[in-house]
Structures are given as C-alpha cells and as structure tokens.
Amino acid sequence: MYIWRKTIEEAGTFKKERIIKSRQGPSIDVHGSQIQILNFCANNYLGLSSHPEVIEAGKKALDSHGAGLSSVRFICGTMDIHKELEDKLARFHGKEDCILYISCFDANTGLFEQLLNEHDAVLSDELNHASIIDGIRLCKAKRYRYKHVDMEDLEKQLQESQKYEHRLIATDGVFSMDGKVTPLDQICDLALKHNALVYIDECHATGFFGETGRGTEEYFQKKTGKDIHVDIICSTLGKAVGGASGGYTCGSKELVSMLRQRSRPYLFSNSCPPPIVACASKALDIIMSDPSLPGKVHSNTVLFRNKMAEAGFSLSGDPDHPICPVMLGDAKLASAFADEMLERGIYVIGFSYPVVPKGKARIRVQISAAHTEEEITRCVDAFVAIGRKFNVIQ
Ligand SMILES: Cc1ncc(COP(=O)(O)O)c(C=O)c1O
C-alpha cells in the first residue's frame, strides 16, 4: 500500500516542505532554525513579494473591495480592479487584450482546448512546464513533441504537420528547471515560414527578463535587433509580479473574448481576490516606473555565476537568466548538499528525478534584485565549503 513512499524514499527524492514563519524575502525565518536564513530559492525575482507599497495596496483593496467575490467572473465576480489589471497587463505586453485567471496553471489548462480542435496541430517542446502539457492533453488537436529547443526537429515537425488547418508552436519562454531561454527569434522565423502561431509561457520572464522586464520577446528584440512578437502569452502574477497568485493570457481581442465565453477554469472557478489583484497591480506599476530593477537582477546574476565558475562549479542555463542551476548529478548528493546549505544559513533546494532528468540532479539557485552583494558572497562561500566537503570541487 505504501510502495510509492518506499520508492521515493529509496531514490532519495522525497520532498520535505520547510516551514517559513516570516514574510517572503531575501532573509527569512525558517521553523527549527535559530538564525535568519538567506533565501536563494524563491521566484521573488524583483523582491516585490513583501514590498511595502505592494502590501499597502493589498490592505487598501481589502478595505475597499473586501476579501473575495463569492462568485465567478461572469455571474457577479468582475470588479473595476480586475478590468484595470487586465488593461495594464495587455499594455505591458503590447497585446490587444488580457484575461485573468486564479493561476497560470489555470490559464494554461483553459487555453488549448478552446483554441484548437481535431483539425489542428500543436507542436510542443518536450520539456514544457506541466501545466502546458496538461492543457495540451485536454485538447483534441494532433500533438507533436519536438526535441528540447531543437529547431531542426521543430522544422521537421512543421513540415510533417502541414495538412492541419491551424498549427500552434507552444513553449516556455524560459525553462524553469534549467534557466534555459527558448530560441524565440528562430521559433518566430519558423512560424512565419510555415504559417504557424506562437504561444509562450512567460512565468520565468515576466517583469524581470529583457531590458525593461517585458520578457523573452524583448530579450530577443534587443539581442537580434528584430521585431519579435508572439501571438499568445500566458504568465503568472505569483512570481516576480507581487508573488501572491494569479495568472493571465494575453493575445488578440478575439482570442480573449472567446476565452471569456469558453475557458473552463475562468467560467467555473472563483474570481481573483481583490487584495491579490491590487498587490499585482501595484507590483506592475513599480516594474513599469523603475526600469532599473531588471538590470539589478542581471548584475546580481552575473556576480553569482562568475564567483561560482571561479570556484569550479558547473552551472547550466542561460548566463543572462537568474535561474542558476548548480549541476551535481546525483539525487542524494543534491538533497544532502541542500540540507547542509541550510545548516549554514542558506536556503536552496535540490531538484532530482522526476522533476529533472535522471542523473541531472542539481541545486537550483534563484537570484533576486533584492539580494545584496554581501548575501551573494555568503551564498557562494557556503557552496565552496560544502562543495569541498563532498568533493564536488577541489
Ligand atoms: C513555467 C511555468 N508555467 C506555469 C506555472 C504555474 O504558475 P502558477 O503558480 O501561477 O499556477 C509555473 C509555476 O511554477 C511555471 O513555472
């Protein structure tokens, strides 16, 4: 009966949850620890989860708009602040319209089923996020899985799928386990050549990646000098944009109108609570008014990556992205390494199979604009001491 537990424990991949007793931030209180812990595993890329103005906005909305709507959007759950945030997000991404969900998981599971039918095809990167995979599973379109960020394979599948009426290329903008950025410039070229649409999940890009935080499109616009635009963006408010929860889909007016009529997680699940909407809205105001924030995440990322490389660690992922996977290989080593890091006051998490491929266990470090240079140095020092102990580095 408990074979699942034995199997996971023997593989050294049982996930324990650590209890945090303070606000989310670079420095946190962890249950059972006597010291303040430096947090290097949150998606709090801009440090806005506990920003005083964000908290204040949430409190005010609680007073003015209450705790929640007791309703889905189309019955009596749409408020002025929902519409304002949708408008703001559409403008931020340069798209015609936006629809809010309670999470990006919902945005993804509510999209493909409505957009594609049995006459269509979806071409999906094999390492896409679970919510994209689940969303695609719900739709009747023919599924093609192309090799991870492999443009030759994508093109081959675009050629093979020509008979389908509509084709959609679906990919994470940035892959969360690797911090690897999808080659969006090439994907958009292929889409143009083969008359396909492009969808990206921007959960690990929105707000902080690209020069002003517009995400993967902006990152490649700068890099290539080309005008790069996708058709559909899904993203989250639960990471850089306030960090509470909430997700959304941006695209054409037609797409968003159709989703409001048909998307099941939107139609059959409660509206986003007002304090969360207000927190996200304020976070977005801060991002739009302070263009230095993405630059700070980037310079902190470069600092961390350089120090770790100098110490002899192997890091994967894109050098420009704040997801910095420290590659260890063995699952048990990754787990033991993370436990020792916590004893030294650094909170990081070891990832292993099935979250990442077998033999590719790692510690995923996530850098934030809120980390100081001194905090990053402390984190690297702890890696070096434990890395030597476990013979990962000399
Ligand atoms: C790439 C990606 N897509 C979707 C999600 C789901 O986002 P949310 O937490 O808003 O449901 C996540 C969250 O981990 C993610 O990393």
Q: Which helix (H) or strand (E) holds 310?
A: helix 292-311
Q: What is residue 144's three-state secondary structure? A: strand
Side-chain-side CA neighbours of 208 within 13 Å: the count stands at 34
Please, what is the end-to-end C-alpha distance for the chain in angstroms? 44
Domains of the chain in start order, with CATH, are 8-39+291-389 (3.90.1150.10), 52-289 (3.40.640.10)
Rounded to two decimals, what is the model's pTM?
A: 0.96
| Residue pair 41/364 in contact by the 8 Å Cβ criterion | yes
Tell me, using a 6 A CB cutoff, whether residue 103 lines ligand 1.
yes
Catalytic residue chosen out of the listed positions 51, 65, 93, 204 = 204
Centre of ligand 1 from the C-alpha of residue 104, in Å: 5
Position 1 confidence tier, pLDDT thresholds 50, 70, 90: low
Question: What are 160-186's pLDDT values in tens digits?
Answer: 999 999 999 999 999 998 899 999 999
Tell me, using a 6 A CB cutoff, whether residue 248 lines ligand 1.
no
Question: What are 300-354's pLDDT values in tens digits?
Answer: 999 999 999 999 999 999 999 999 999 999 989 998 999 999 999 999 999 888 8
Tell me, using a 6 A CB cutoff, whether residue 176 lines ligand 1.
yes
CA angle (253, 256, 259) in 5-degree steps: 150
